[in-house]
Chain A
C-alpha cells in the first residue's frame, strides 16, 4: 500500500458526458501526477500539479483539466467524453516534482 487513494474505483459514462476523478496523495507528498493507461500500454502522462499549480503537461487536449487543493489532493476532470477515453486513470504522488512517484490503485473508466 502506497497511501495514495483514488475514487471511484470504477465508473461508466456515456459519450459526451463529463467526469471527475479524485486522488488523495501520500502524507508528506506535495506533487500529484495523473496518467492514462490503455489496455496493454504503459501509462501516458496527462499532467502534474505542484503546490496547486500545473507543473507539466503531456499530449492531452484541453478537455482534460485538473486541480490541486491546499491539502495536496487532486482532481482530474474530463469533458466531452469520447470512447477512446476508456482506460485506467492513475494518480501518483511524489515528495518533489519528478522524484520517485507512488501510484494509487487507479480508476477504471468505461465510456459507452
Chain B
C-alpha cells in the first residue's frame, strides 16, 4: 500500500468554481502535510502546509486535515485557468522521510 494516495484525475472544473483535491495517507505517525503545485516541466511549488486537525486558509486556498480519517484535502476557490497544474500531496513520516502522492492533474476551463 502506498503511503500517500491521490486520485490521479484529471479533474476538470469551470473557471470560478471550487476545485477539491483529496489525499489519504496510511502512516498514522505522519505529523505534517504539504500541498505542492507543479506546472508541466517545472519543479514543485509549495502552496500550503498543515500540521493540526481542522482547516487552514490562505487566500483562495484552504487545506483540511483529519488525522482520525487519515485524510488531507485542498480546496481552491474561484479557480482560474492559471491554476491548471498537477497538485502533489506530501506527508512527513516519522523517520524524516517525506512521501509524495502521484499527483492530481487539475484543468480549469475558461
| Cβ–Cβ < 8 Å partners of B97 in chain A | 45, 56-58
| Cβ–Cβ < 8 Å partners of A43 in chain B | 44, 88, 90, 100
Given contacts A43-B88, A106-B43, contact A101 B98 (CB under 8 A): yes
A98 B49 Cβ-Cβ under 8 A: no
Number of B positions contacting A (CB below 8 A): 22
| Cβ–Cβ < 8 Å partners of B88 in chain A | 42-43
Interface readout for B71-86 with A: 1 if CB under 8 Å, 0 if not? 0000000000000000
Q: How far is the CA of A105 from the CA of B36 in the complex (A)?
A: 14
Q: Say which residue of B4, B44, B45, B95 sits within 8 Å of A56 (CB atoms).
A: B95
For the complex formed, measure the closest distance between the CB of B109 and the CB atoms of chain A, giving whole angstroms.
22
Is A40 interfacial (CB 8 A cutoff)? yes
Is A79 interfacial (CB 8 A cutoff)? no
For the complex formed, measure the closest distance between the CB of A61 and the CB atoms of chain B, giving whole angstroms.
16
B32 A104 Cβ-Cβ under 8 A: no
| Cβ–Cβ < 8 Å partners of B46 in chain A | 100-103
| Cβ–Cβ < 8 Å partners of A105 in chain B | 42-43
A102 nearest in chain B by CB position: B46
For the complex formed, measure the closest distance between the CB of A66 and the CB atoms of chain B, giving whole angstroms.
14
Is A44 interfacial (CB 8 A cutoff)? yes
Q: How far is the CA of A97 from the CA of B46 in the complex (A)?
A: 16
Q: How far is the CA of A29 from the CA of B84 in the complex (A)?
A: 30
B103 A42 Cβ-Cβ under 8 A: yes
Is A55 interfacial (CB 8 A cutoff)? yes
Given contacts A42-B101, A43-B88, A100-B49, contact A55 B96 (CB under 8 A): yes
Interface readout for A37-80 with B: 1 if CB under 8 Å, 0 if not? 00011111100100000011110000000000000000000000
A56 B102 Cβ-Cβ under 8 A: no
Chain A residues in contact with chain B, CB under 8 A?
Answer: 2, 33, 35, 40-45, 48, 55-58, 88, 90, 97-98, 100-106
Chain B residues in contact with chain A, CB under 8 A?
Answer: 4, 32, 34, 36, 42-46, 49, 88, 90, 92, 95-103
